[in-house]
Amino acid sequence: MTTPPTAPGGTWLITPPSDGRLEAALRAEPDVALLDLEDSVPPSGKDTARIAAVAHLGAAPVHGATVLGLRVNAPGTVHGLKDLVAVADAGLREVVLLVPKVESARELELVAQVLKETATGVRICALIETPRALLRLGDIFASPVLDGVVFGAADYAAATGCRRTSSSLWWARSSIAAAAAAHGIPSIDSPYFDLANPQGLQRDAQEARDLGFTGKGAVHPDQILTIRAAFCPTGEEVTQAQAVVSAADRAGGRLVRSGGQMVGPPLVAAARAVLDRAGDHTEPAIHGGIQ
Burial of 2: CB neighbours in 10 Å, binned 0-12, 13-18, 19+: exposed
Mean pLDDT along residues 1-12: 68
pLDDT for res 1: 41
Q: How far apart are CA 123 and CA 145, in angstroms?
A: 8
Q: How far apart are CA 72 and CA 224, in angstroms?
A: 23
- The domain limits of the chain are 10-231, 235-278
CATH 3.40.50.300 fits 10-231, yes or no: no
Per-residue pLDDT reduced to its tens digit, 73-118: 999 999 999 999 999 999 888 899 999 999 999 999 999 999 988 8
**What's the pTM?**
0.83
- Please say if the pLDDT value at position 288 is more than 50: no
Q: How far apart are CA 206 and CA 151, in angstroms?
A: 16
Amino acid identity for residue 236 in this structure: E
- Please say if the pLDDT value at position 150 is more than 80: yes
CA angle 197, 42, 176 (to 5 degrees): 55
- Please say if the pLDDT value at position 225 is more than 80: yes
- Please say if the pLDDT value at position 276 is more than 50: yes
- Please say if the pLDDT value at position 6 is more than 70: no
Q: How far apart are CA 263 and CA 223, in angstroms?
A: 36
pLDDT for res 280: 40
